Chain A
Amino acid sequence: MILQRSSPPWLETPFEVFDKGVFTPNDQHYVSWHWANFPGDIDVDSFRLTVRGQVNQTLSLSLKDILQGLPRFDIAAVNQCAGNSRIYAVPRVAGAQWADGSMSNALWTGVRLKDVLDRAGVKPGAIQVRFGGLDEPVMQGAPKFLKSLAIDHARDGEVMIVFGMNGEQLPLLNGFPLRLVVPGWCGVYWVKMLNDIEVLDQPDTNYWTSTGYRVPDTPHNTVKPGETGFKMVPVTRNAPRSFITNIRNGDSVPAGTPALARGIAFGGDCGVARVDLSIDGGKNWQPTQLGADQGTYGFRQWQAQFTLPSRGTRTLMVRCTNTKNEAQPDFGIWNPAGYLFNTIETTHVVAA
Chain B
Amino acid sequence: MLRAVMPMVAVLSLVLLPHPGRAATITTLKSLKLDVPTSDAMFPAGPGSDAINNDCLACHSADHVLNQPSLSREAWQEVVNKMIPAYKAPVSPDDAKAIVDYLARTKGAS
Using CB atoms and an 8 Å cutoff, list the residues of chain A in contact with chain B: 3-10, 20-23, 35-36, 38-45, 63, 67, 74, 76, 87, 92-94, 97, 106-107, 109, 137-143, 163-164, 166-169, 172-173, 176-177, 207, 211-212, 246-248, 250-254, 257-260, 262, 291-292, 294, 301, 303, 305, 349-350
Tell which of A44, A167, A250 touches B2, judged by Cβ atoms closer than 8 Å. A250
Q: Which residues of B contact A253 (CB under 8 A)?
A: 5
Let me know if B8 and A259 touch, CB within 8 A: yes
Are the C-beta atoms of B2 and A260 separated by less than 8 Å? no
**For A6, A109, A137, A303, which residue has the most chain B Cβ atoms within 10 angstroms?**
A6
CB-CB contacts below 8 Å: B27-81 with A: 27-39, 41, 58-61, 63-64, 67-71, 75, 78-79
Task: From the candidates A67, A169, A252, A292, name the one contacting B5 in the complex (CB within 8 A).
Answer: A252
- CB of B87 within 8 A of CB of A42, answer no
Q: Is the interface of A mostly helix, strand, loop or mixed?
A: loop
State the B residues within 8 Å of A (CB).
1-8, 11-12, 14-24, 26-39, 41, 58-61, 63-64, 67-71, 75, 78-79, 86-90
Question: Do the beta carbons of B36 and A291 come within 8 Å of each other?
Answer: no
Given known A-B contacts A92-B71, A250-B1, A107 and B23 have beta carbons under 8 A apart:
yes
Are B2 and A252 in contact, CB atoms less than 8 angstroms apart? yes
Majority secondary structure, B binding face: loop
Complex Cα–Cα for A305 and B14 (A): 13
Tell me which of B2, B4, B17, B59 has the highest count of chain A C-beta atoms within 10 A of its own C-beta. B59
CA distance A97 to B107 in the complex (A): 14
Whether B5 contacts A247 by the Cβ 8 Å rule is yes
CB atoms of B39 and A44 under 8 A apart? no
CB <8 Å contact, A6 and B39? yes
Which 9 pairs from chain A and chain B are nearest by CB? A21-B19, A107-B21, A167-B22, A167-B24, A6-B39, A92-B69, A258-B8, A139-B88, A6-B61
Q: How far is the CA of A163 from the CA of B25 in the complex (A)?
A: 11
Complex interface: chain A residues within 8 A of B1 (CB)? 248, 250-251
Most buried by B among A3, A7, A291: A7
Write out the residue numbers on chain B whose beta carbons fall within 8 Å of the beta carbon of A172: 32, 34
| CB of A301, distance to nearest CB on chain B (Å) | 5
In contact, A7 and B69 (Cβ under 8 angstroms) = no
The CA-CA distance from A43 to B75 in the complex, in Å, is: 43
CA distance A6 to B64 in the complex (A): 8
Could you tell me if A173 and B34 are in contact, using CB atoms closer than 8 angstroms?
yes
Bound-state Cα–Cα, A93 to B3, Å: 31
Contacts of B38 in A (CB 8 A): 6-7, 36
Indicate whether A7 sits within 8 Å of B26 (C-beta atoms), given known contacts A22-B19, A40-B36, A41-B33.
no
Answer whether A106 and B21 are a contact pair too, CB < 8 Å, given A36-B60, A250-B2.
Answer: yes
CB-nearest residue of chain B relative to A298?
B21
Chain A residues with CB under 8 Å of B88's CB are 137, 139-142
Task: Give Cα distance in the complex from A247 to B60, angstroms.
Answer: 36
Quick check: A97 and B22 within 8 Å, CB to CB? no
- Complex CA gap A167/B61 in Å reads 33
Complex Cα gap A305–B11 (Å): 11
A254 adjacent to B39 (CB under 8 Å): no
B89 touching A139, Cβ below 8 Å:
yes
In the complex, 10 of the A-B residue pairs with CB atoms within 8 angstroms, ordered by the A residue number, are A4-B67, A42-B31, A44-B30, A137-B87, A138-B59, A143-B86, A176-B32, A247-B5, A251-B3, A258-B7
The answer to whether A303 touches B15, judged by C-beta atoms less than 8 angstroms apart, is yes
Q: B23, A291: Cβ atoms under 8 Å?
A: no
Contact of A63 with B34 at beta-carbon distance under 8 Å, contacts A97-B69, A167-B24 already known: no
Q: Is the CB of A67 within 8 A of B27?
A: yes
Report B-chain residues with C-beta under 8 Å of the C-beta of A164: 23-24, 26
Measured in the bound complex, the distance between the Cα atoms of B33 and A247 in whole Å is 39
Q: B79 contacts A94, CB within 8 Å?
A: yes
CB atoms of B60 and A163 under 8 A apart: no
Q: B1, B20, B30: which has the most chain A beta carbons within 10 Å? A: B20
A136–B65 Cα distance when bound, in Å, is 21
Residues of A contacting B5 with CB < 8 Å? 246-247, 251-254, 259, 349
Q: Is the CB of A67 within 8 A of B90?
A: no
Known A-B contacts A252-B5, A260-B11; the reply to A5 vs B71 at CB < 8 A is no
B16/A301 in contact, CB under 8 A: yes
Q: Nearest-CB distance from B38 to chain A (Å)?
A: 5
